[in-house]
Chains A and B, each alone.
Chain A
Amino acid sequence: MSGQSQRLNVVPTVTMLGIMKARLVGATRGHALLKKKSDALTVQFRQILKNIVSTKESMGDVMKNSSFALTEAKYVAGENIKLTVRENVQSAALKVRSYQENVAGVKLPKFEYFIDGESNKNDLTGLARGGQQVQACKAAYVKAIELLVELATLQTSFLTLDEAIKTTNRRVNALENVVKPRIENTISYIKGELDELEREDFFRLKKIQGYKRREVERQREAAKAYAEEKFAEEISLKRGISVNSAHNMLSHGMQKDEDIIF
């Protein structure tokens, strides 16, 4: 792929020059704005990154605790607790709400967990034995769910921001390396063509001026010569002789008259 940036194919007129200049201004401003947006997004991105790492680590611990609590409950309340719990499943009490948050112009999805408020059939589990362990286990798992929902939020924001940063960077690079050089080349081409046309016109003008001047000179010469002849004629007429006729008689006489013997 050649690194040369082409220029746009346009008619090199003054209007086009104006249009191209406006476009260049627009491209420059857009480039600056997009760069700022990309920077803002990157800052957000780094923050989320840090949060994700720390949350994942704490999640590992929390899961361990909850599994522990579950084992305790199983030990105390008997193995049948699993089946009891499974039978009791109806509709979920813990649900997640998703909404969008606008961060630096990018819509990020966020999850919020909430309790639906229906009474759990599971409240009665372990009534026979080990009720306390079961409740403790339940609390541990609810806490785990909270953390997990938060982690899910972070993860989705991370993925969405990643995409957004990539697109923005792509646009910034495109503006910087393709669009602006192209417009600049077009502008210099138009300017060159306009200059050339101007030079052509100028040259043509000069040439025509030259012709005209020469014409005027020649006419003046001709007029001067004619005027001089006329003046000479007038003077000779006043003296009573016509120079021309005298001249004619003489030359005539020398040729035809044979009587005159000299």
Chain B
Amino acid sequence: MANKPQIRTSSSALIAMIADEDTITGFLLAGVGNVDLRRKTNYLIVDSKTTVKQIEDAFKEFTTREDIAVVLISQYVANMIRFLVDSYNKPIPAILEIPSKDHPCDPAHDSVLSRVKYLFSTESVASGRR
């Protein structure tokens, strides 16, 4: 049996965020934000001036950081880096797409939810995956 990739277990890990300003403010209010000694934050505010490259870099950084377990990303931001999000297949950190104020949750684009819907409909129709 080939070695399964080790799943990280940590006792305290952060929640990263890539979203628009209002959402980030709300979450920061709740206390999810973290700034460490090197002034690195675990969130990225996306507004009209942010380039796709910045978003890509932040995404890559968040997913490779050891202490981040969950990455929340707004759906319209995810659409901008759709290919990165879709090709990401590690279990940790978990990528979660959240709706934003202006763009309601669209299940057609959500990478995981679309698969869920597909499986769900197959299961209700036919005998299931096997």
**Beta-carbon contacts under 8 Å, A134-166 to B:** 134, 137-138, 140-142, 144-145, 148-149, 151-153, 155-156, 158-160, 165
Q: Is the interface of B mostly helix, strand, loop or mixed?
A: mixed
Comparing A86-94, A196-204, A211-219, A248-256, the segment that makes contact with chain B is A86-94
Would B33 and A137 count as touching, CB distance under 8 A? no
Given contacts A49-B123, A134-B29, A137-B29, contact A111 B112 (CB under 8 A): no
CB neighbours (8 Å) of B35 from chain A are 89-91
**Contact indicator per residue, chain A 66-109, by CB within 8 Å of chain B (1) or not (0):** 11011100100000011001101111111111111000000101
Shortest CB distance B34–A (Å)? 4
Given contacts A86-B25, A96-B70, contact A111 B34 (CB under 8 A): no
Comparing A9-17, A56-64, A234-242, the segment that makes contact with chain B is A56-64
Q: Is the interface of A mostly helix, strand, loop or mixed?
A: helix
Would A53 and B96 count as touching, CB distance under 8 A? no
Would A92 and B32 count as touching, CB distance under 8 A? yes
Q: Does B51 contact A (CB under 8 A)?
A: no
Q: Does B53 contact A (CB under 8 A)?
A: no
Comparing B54-62, B77-85, B86-94, the segment that makes contact with chain A is B86-94
CB neighbours (8 Å) of A134 from chain B are 29
Distance in angstroms between the alpha carbons of A89 and B22 in the assembled complex: 15
Shortest CB distance B112–A (Å)? 5
Shortest CB distance A113–B (Å)? 8
CB neighbours (8 Å) of B41 from chain A are 89
Indicate the size class of the contact surface on chain B.
Answer: 35 or more
Shortest CB distance B1–A (Å)? 9
Would A116 and B94 count as touching, CB distance under 8 A? no
Distance in angstroms between the alpha carbons of A256 and B105 in the assembled complex: 145
**Beta-carbon contacts under 8 Å, B80-118 to A:** 89, 91-92, 94-96, 98-101, 104-105, 107, 110, 112-113, 116-117
Would B70 and A149 count as touching, CB distance under 8 A? yes
Given contacts A82-B21, A148-B96, contact A66 B91 (CB under 8 A): no
Most chain B beta-carbon neighbours within 10 Å: one of A111, A122, A156: A156
Distance in angstroms between the alpha carbons of A122 and B29 in the assembled complex: 6
Distance in angstroms between the alpha carbons of A99 and B27 in the assembled complex: 24
Q: Does A42 contact B (CB under 8 A)?
A: yes
Given contacts A53-B120, A89-B34, A122-B29, contact A96 B91 (CB under 8 A): no
Would B25 and A94 count as touching, CB distance under 8 A? no
Would A92 and B29 count as touching, CB distance under 8 A? no
Provide 15 A-B residue pairs closer than 8 Å at the C-beta atoms, listed in order of the A residue.
Answer: A52-B112, A53-B117, A56-B116, A59-B98, A60-B99, A74-B22, A82-B21, A91-B34, A92-B34, A93-B32, A98-B7, A142-B31, A153-B94, A155-B95, A165-B129
Give the A-binding residues of B (Cβ under 8 A). Answer: 4, 7-15, 21-23, 25-36, 41-42, 69-70, 72, 89, 91-92, 94-96, 98-101, 104-105, 107, 110, 112-113, 116-117, 119-120, 123, 128-130
